[in-house]
Structure 1
């Protein structure tokens, strides 16, 4: 499981402990963006006492997508056949990882979803829920995909999936990275499954979501959607 971190000193050891209690056979790769609060040092301490924990230190805060791309490349080079992602703040509960592992039996990408039947969120204000639901509806309508929680970050990929979707050409660095990879997986003709999870708002530390991050997501999704709609029109005219 790839865990990107920036200022998660309060959460990292706690979430890694929960993950290994729930799934002892899972290796963890912490990708730290030079956290000034000492998260990287904590990651090194964990790795020094547990061979299942590995650490990549990056030189600065370059965005969630950039951290995941670095982590995915490292995991692929290391020979892993299943590569996952999850938040380090406890929003994604390691105790539910088995649901994603079971679903991977007949899927190429499994998403732990808040917005399929059975999925829930805990301690979210109504405004934030409406924003997330609305954003995902916008994604479905504009990109023409069926995934109900394309922005979710609790996932398992098969190795072959990441190899098929050309990670080297991914340009998203923020949270829209999740949407881009879900769309690319479907465009490659691969199978995406969503399983319901309970998403819990972080209790410690600060959220990395901001207006600038949301604006980047909106711009990129709109650009992709308009480009795809134009391509569809050209295909129709060509026929």
Structure 2
């Protein structure tokens, strides 16, 4: 089974279109999307237009859940922008998605099996740095998951790890948001360091990360017009911290 793994599109329709064009030539048997489809000040409605007829299996991410559960007046700016741009059918689709997916030979989650807000492979240091978790901690976060392949997202950082027990963990990176800041557990910046759209192809035991160039100028302009210069910088450079 040859699979394309996508995640963290965050309403970047142009990046998603580039990824879909790229994977069309890869001969994949299945497409999996690991959540956070729309949240952001970019093009949620256009992203939905690309996703609604795509033959893919998808799960919800934390921002997908916020779009469904958080009252509009209490939403963060990125979630509110997506909420106001999306048609009702998109929210109905999000509500139909499971939080995790067990596929026999794989298990997919947005963050960890227990939380869509927790990084599986990364930890945040007290000074706001981003470091790889140790294998023991990752194994504890995966307690009860026996699948040989675990697919995760949320950190927007491409990773392929093999745990001491032989299980593989793959994060495909982010299709549409290569850098961001967060305040939890302490203020930190996550930066892929490249502006291309990222996804992964799994073909048996082989993991190939694809970095797909696209013209990010239109999405960066939308971010600036929405008063989000930090998004514009992230889209253009893959970095966000000053």
**Per residue, is there more strand in 1 or in 2?**
2
Structure 1 or 2, whichever has the larger Rg, is 1
Question: Which structure shows the bigger proportion of residues in helix conformation?
Answer: 1
- State if a TM-score over 0.5 links the two structures: no
- Per the normalisation by structure 2, the TM-score is 0.35
TM-score in terms of structure 1 length: 0.35
